[in-house]
Amino acid sequence: MNKPDNHNANLQIDNLSMTFSLPDGSTVEALKNVSLNLQQGELLSVLGPSGCGKTTLLNIVAGFLAPSEGQVVLNQHPVNGPDAERGMVFQQGALFEWMNVRKNIAFGPTMKGLPEKQINQHVDELLETVGLHGFGNKHIYELSGGMQQRVALARCLANDPDVILMDEPLGALDALTREKMQSLILKLWKETGKTIILITHSVEEALLLGERLLVMAPRPGRIHKEYHLPFAQLGVDADLREVKKHPDFSKIREEILSMIWEMEEEIMGKAI
Amino acid sequence: MLILIIYITLFILAYFIYTILARQLKSKQKNSSRKTITFGDESTVTPNRVASVISIAVLFIIWAAFTGSKLLPLHVPGPFIGSTSFSYTAINAQNQTDKATVYIRVEPVGNKTKKPEVPEQQTGFAKDDAIKVGAWRSGLVRVQNNDDGGKEKNYRIIAINDQPITAKQSIAVTNGIVNMTPKGSLSFTPDKGWQMEPVWLPAPETVIERFIEIAANGYQNITLWENIGWSLLRVLAGFILGCIVGIPLGYAMGLNNWFRGWFDPIVEFMRPIPPLALIPLVIIWFGIWETGKISLLFLAALWIMIIAARAGVSGVSISKVHAAYSLGASKFQVLMHVIVPNSLPEIFTGARVALGVCWGTVVAAELVAAEKGAGKMIIAASKFQQTDVVIMGIILIGVIGYSIDILMRRAENFLVPWKGKA
Ligand SMILES: Nc1ncnc2c1ncn2[C@@H]1O[C@H](COP(=O)(O)OP(=O)(O)OP(=O)(O)O)[C@@H](O)[C@H]1O
Ligand SMILES: [Mg+2]
């Protein structure tokens, strides 16, 4: 599955394993021998049944967790902890509600100590980009869930990271808002050319957004299958609803759905 | 007991009157809520402001009614005031009986009036008597003193108003009770009525007058504002010291294993000890004067603020901290820009509790010893039985405590508007 051209790879995930020990003495293999290479500008979506280690994988890449084995290498240097080069978008609740929208977006550059004028200009641009023009002085709690996620995206982009990591970024949104946000993510991806890893529970979302799609399997958490898909490229310019009418779309969706169903059934069987 | 029954009756009465009135007005009102289930839905229960107003009014009405206040036309029956009399029958050493009258005047305590007049012409060996009794008090009347042969051994009083009496017995007469002491003397207790004696509970207007007087002239050469100011100053000093030490310590306990382990047993042990229980030790260590009081208030605020700051740190959602690190923040920046602001709501809650506790503690400490202060004022007044000053002081202490809380809530709304909205 690995691409042979490892050398100019942007993000390199090498043979990661993660074993948690539980208080009762037993252990959980959240990840086992996961390897993956991402080129600059690739958008990878990750699917898998609950508990297959998606969040664990993302947290290791973000630098919040140190793997039991293996390593993550970004631009030839190993990842040892969180850094502004790897931005994170959380499902919800990670915005700073004691700051208004502007200050949230400006957080990264402010921490770096960039000149205020430059920050302000950048924030204005980003507000425009994510469609929040005129909302800069609102408080976070005055915004809807969809708007909050736009702020989260803008805050991440303000730092100009090399890689953007998203853990179910649209999971808390309603279906319609979600569709709009999916278009926005595609637009931002194309405009900024960022490398993106996006975890989702929605097969449709994974298909629409993932240029590459990873299906993971649980116990131990591992890569089950990888797809290379055309839908993300199509969706950049087209209506996502049109993309869904693509003849391959429903075929692959059904294939992945039954794959995940099988895994879930297997887990249930094991549990019983 | 009686007051409780009256209170409950007024509670129920006010409720029914209000419900009937509200029902008649309702047709004109808009329906603000279309909820059909209200019983058990706590969110539909809001304090009925009418009830709050009536509640305060009822308290004052009961207070006024039971103290014979001039502010209220209707009172419960007061103590008997005026002239009354009863007759007694005595038997002398010669086994003769004779009857005489005791004239009584009942006056409020402190009124300087003379005893009632006694008729000049007296027949028989028993002679009429006159006494003056203060309302709510009782008066001893040694009727035998002016009777012929009253000092002789077999002289006895055998009846009151023709009803036989012996030692330690009581007989009801008009406007009072006559009691015979074990030695055979008589004492008269006028009817007390239902009202409270001013020494027990002064009327509201007395308290207001006293407030105006003390606000203008001070009490025992110390102005009211000086008394209150000193109390507030002590609270502020203790509270601020408690914050200066407690908040950083709480943060350290929330951020560092060693600090958490080191201070956990101390905090958990000290927390349940009421600050008042520390007064004796504080007196031994620091004396009761300013150092002692401020140390006490410092201790009262300290544990509360430590726990509030620690809870504030543990209340930070991990994704916010992760987000900040991913945005390139350093540890110090995470502390200053994420942990501190995120813990402010908790710290404010703690500060409100701490100020309340400090206010209560300072008053108590001033009761023990102080030269100036709200607590000192009321304890000094209580030594002179100046109940009106005591009550005025208690009301003032309550009002100030409440004001502090409201002020803190305002500050909280202003400084942490995001509280409870995350
Ligand atoms: N800190 C931890 N301590 C112990 N076990 C953990 C810890 N974090 C994760 N796990 C275990 O590791 C496995 C993978 O968890 P992870 O959160 O990565 O799954 P996930 O695929 O993100 O699931 P979901 O789709 O529900 O978010 C699970 O079995 C989980 O119980
Ligand atoms: Mg997860």
Whether the CB of B12 is below 8 Å from some CB of chain A: the reply is: no
Domains, chain B, with CATH or none:
1-14+49-77 (no CATH), 82-190 (no CATH), 205-415 (1.10.3720.10)
The whole domain housing A57 covers: 1-84+165-177+195-272
Point out which residues pair with A20 in neighbouring strands: A28
- Is the minimum distance from the CB of A59 to ligand 1 under 6 angstroms? no
Among B327, B333, B418, select the one facing A159 at the smallest CB separation: B327
Which residue, by CA, sits nearest to atom 6 of ligand 1? Answer: A20
**Terminal-residue alpha carbon distance, chain B:** 49
A172 and A272 housed in the same domain:
yes
Residues A66, A138, single domain; the answer is no
- Residues A238, A250, single domain; the answer is yes
Q: What is the pLDDT of residues B122-159, one digit of tens each?
A: 778 888 888 988 888 888 888 888 888 888 888 888 88
Sort out which chain A residues have CB atoms less than 8 A from B342's CB and list them.
96, 98
Contact between chains at B327 and A141 (C-beta distance less than 8 A): no
pLDDT digits (tens, 9 = 90+) for B345-358: 999 999 999 999 99
| Lookup: tokens for A159 | 């730092």
| Domain presence at residue A188 | no
Q: Which residues surround ligand 2, an ion (CB under 5 A)?
A: A 55
Residue of A nearest to B321 (CA): A94
Which residue has its alpha carbon closest to ligand 1 atom 1? A20
Residue A264, pLDDT > 50, answer yes
pLDDT at A6: 45
Reported confidence tier of residue B422, pLDDT bands at 50, 70, 90: low
Q: Is the pLDDT assigned to residue B30 strictly greater than 80?
A: no
- In this structure, the answer to whether residues A55 and A93 fall within a common structural domain is no
Instruction: Mark whether A24 and A50 lie in a shared domain.
Output: yes
| pLDDT exceeds cutoff 50 at B89 | yes
pLDDT at A270: 60
Reported ipTM: the value is: 0.89
Radius of gyration of chain A (CA): 19
Q: Which residues of B41-73 are buried (b: 16+ CB within 10 A; e: fewer)?
A: eeeeeeeeeeeeebeeebeebbbbbbbbbeebe
Contact by Cβ (8 Å): B346, B374? no
Average of per-residue pLDDT across B375-394 = 90
| A223 and A261 share one domain | yes
| pLDDT value for A5 | 46
Residue nearest to atom 14 of ligand 1 (CA): A53
Window from A39-43, B51-55, B418-422 with minimum mean pLDDT: B418-422
Cα distances (angstroms) measured from residue B106 to each of B82, B130, B160, B190, B194? 5, 11, 19, 7, 16
Residue B121 predicted with pLDDT over 80 = no
Same domain, residue pair A173 and A256: yes
Q: How far apart are CA A63 and CA A13, in angstroms?
A: 12
Give the percent of chain B with pLDDT over 70: 97
**Rounded to the nearest whole angstrom, what is the distance from the C-alpha of residue A218 to the centroid of ligand 2?**
12
Q: How many domains does chain A have?
A: 2
Q: Which residue of A has its CA nearest to B329?
A: A111
Residue of A nearest to B344 (CA): A98
Condensed to tens digits (0 to 9), the pLDDT of residues B200-235 reads 888 888 899 989 998 888 888 888 898 899 999 999
In a domain, A183, yes or no: no
Q: Are residues A1 and A22 in the same domain?
A: yes
Same structural domain, A9 and A120: no
Q: Which atom of ligand 1 is nearest to the CA of A53?
A: 18
Residue of B272, B378, B244, B224 whose CA lies nearest to B236: B244
